[in-house]
Structure formats: structure tokens, C-alpha cells
Amino acid sequence: MFSRLIGNEEVKDALRHLLASGRMPGSLLFTGEAGIGKKLFALELAKALNCRNRVGVEACDECSSCRRIENSIFPPFSDAKDNNERMIWSEHGDVAMVRPYKQIIRVKPMRELEGEANFRPFEGAARVFIVEDAEYMNDSASAALLKTLEEPQPTTHLILTTTNPTALLATIRSRCQVIRFAPVAAEQIEKFLIEEKAISATDAALLARTSQGSFGRACASDLDDYRERREAMLAILKALTITGNRVQLLRSAEGLGAASDRADYEESLAVLEALIRDAWALHLGRPAETIVNSDLVNDLGKIAAELNSQKAASWLSEIEELRGTLEVNINKKIASDALLMRMAAA
């Protein structure tokens, strides 16, 4: 049942409404950030469409069809290349998924989908095919999908998920009913982490606030890693405001520049930005419980006392500018030195 899923109440209402109307579109496009539940909602919809004992318009969660779709494990890709270019079946004979392998969806699994989409349901009432991260389809995969969308079987439903709908062909978008997902509220993520994942209240609060409404991110985050990174970024802000310690600043620049790769580097920049925003918010008199790193309110309060809006704004724009240059292969060490020197001069 949709009530098991967390957040996105409007989406639940929209899907219930479509189920009740009996006019579920042949193709749906679920859009929204990574990790906010698009695939879980797609599977829940597949359950409702195939349930043998519906409760109202929703899945009963108990019949064998519901249980098999619910327990679907889409295994990670193996090294055997053959398997990676195929559609992946759930434990239910009418529910399958295509997803990118190494950030590409090629034509082969989409042709397989095209063929399977023509069949009547094998064991349930509807065939449901999920295309995860559909923006990764290459041109020939997109062409195969377009053909599938042209002559839909009334019992076949395609659900595309994407974080970036504009990367899809307009002709694909226009054939799908778009369902927009919103970030999940921090309180809901926090409650879930405490109740379902048995995570301590302190850690749950921090994970929920740093996850930007993404469940997936909250569950996958490594808090030890985050805290270590945050400590290093906090040292930068202290050196810039409270201590004025240039040696510390140079050492910090070195640490930042030693990032193992671009993702690692961007992660540190994102943490630095969040700390600046928090300190700025405190400087403006916002309540401590509204900031992301509210467990650091003492340190951030001291930084806030030395801060002004002009400085905070110029720091953020320096970081933003640096982020823009990361597309090209820059020298992270030189860039980090330059960033912190500019921030010190702001």
C-alpha cells in the first residue's frame, strides 16, 4: 500500500486517482532527485496493478503477487558482460526493469523490452516495465523506446524514472504522463532512520538534515566520513574568521587539494558551503535548530560573530566559480590554494 512509503503524499493521491479511474496511462515519467523513492513507488504501482486481492485500489501486500514484487531484488551487475546488456526480471513474470550499465542504457535491453511489451500479461493483470535513470539511454535505445510507446498494449505500462527529464527526447517526454517527486521532509527521514534502521537520535538527525530530502543519500551516507570531512572544513572557516591563522589555512588548502577524485573534492566543497550557509544564518539571527549542522552551533556561533553578509556571499560565489571550472581537468592543489587565499582576502 502506498501508505507504507514515506513522503510525496501528492504523488500517492495522483496514483490512487489514476488507479481508481481505471485509466492508468501506458507510460509514466517519474521525475525528481536521486534517492527520493521513485523506484519504490514504481514497484508499489506494479503491485497494485497486479494484486489478486486489492484493498480499494491498492495492493494488499499479502497475496503471492504482491509479495514477489515486493521482494524483487534486482541484482547488481556482474562482470559477465552478456548479463549486463539485458532486461532484469523481478520474481514476478510480468514485472521487469532496465537500468544503465556504466552510465549507458544501450539498445539491446530496450529491444528486449519492446518485444516483451507486446505480450499480454503472463500471470497477472498488467505488464510493468521500469526504465531506471532513463536519461542514460543512448540514441538507439531512445529510438527503440519511441517505437514501444507508439503502439502500446492496453495491459502494458512503462514507468521511466529520471533525475533529469530535459535530457530525454521531447518526443518521449510528450508521450508520458509526468509525475513529479519532491524531496522528503527531514523530519520524516529522521523518524524512519530511528524507527526502521535503529539509528541513534543524534546520528539520525544529522543524516536527515544533510541528505537534502533524499532517502537514498541518508541511508548510504557514512557519518564517520562526513564528520571527518566536516571537521577539516570547519578548520578552514575558523582560520578565516576567529584565529586568522595562515599556516592552518595553507595546511587546510593542502588537505582539500589532496582529494582523491572530483566527486571527493565536490563533496568537500559542498560541506564547506553548508557550513558557510549555517554560519551566515546564525549571523542573521536565525534559530539554531533550523541550520543543517545544528550540532556544531557553538563553533558556528563563534564564526558567525566574526562574519558579515558580504563576506559570506563572496565566499559562496568563489566556491561556485571554482565548481564551474571542475568540468575541465584542473589541478586541485593549485585551485584550492587560490580559493582559500581569495576567501581570506574577501
Q: Does 69 bind Zn ion (CB under 5 A)?
A: no
In the complex, least distance from residue 3 CB atom to Zn ion, rounded to whole angstroms: 15
Q: Does 63 bind Zn ion (CB under 5 A)?
A: yes
Q: Does 125 bind Zn ion (CB under 5 A)?
A: no
Nearer to Zn ion, 64 or 171 (CB): 64
Instruction: Name the CA radius of gyration of the chain, rounded.
Output: 24
Q: Does 66 bind Zn ion (CB under 5 A)?
A: yes
Strand pairing of 156-162 and 27-31? parallel
In the complex, least distance from residue 43 CB atom to Zn ion, rounded to whole angstroms: 13
Q: Does 43 bind Zn ion (CB under 5 A)?
A: no
Rounded Cα distance, 148 and 118, in Å: 8
Q: Which of 29, 46, 51, 98 binds Zn ion (CB under 5 A)?
A: 51
In the complex, least distance from residue 59 CB atom to Zn ion, rounded to whole angstroms: 5
Per rule CB under 5 A, count of chain residues that contact Zn ion: 5
- Residues 278 and 298: beta-carbon distance below 8 Å: no
In the complex, least distance from residue 44 CB atom to Zn ion, rounded to whole angstroms: 11
Task: Pick the piece of the chain touching Zn ion (CB under 5 A) from 30-38, 48-56, 110-118, 218-226.
Answer: 48-56
CA 130 to chain CA centroid, nearest Å: 17
In the complex, least distance from residue 46 CB atom to Zn ion, rounded to whole angstroms: 11
Rounded Cα distance, 75 and 89, in Å: 10
Q: Does 1 bind Zn ion (CB under 5 A)?
A: no
Rounded Cα distance, 138 and 107, in Å: 7
Q: Which residue has the cell 492496453?
A: 154
Strand partners, 101: 104
Question: Interhelix angle for 107-117 vs 139-150, to 10°?
Answer: 10
The footprint of Zn ion (CB under 5 A) covers 51, 59-60, 63, 66
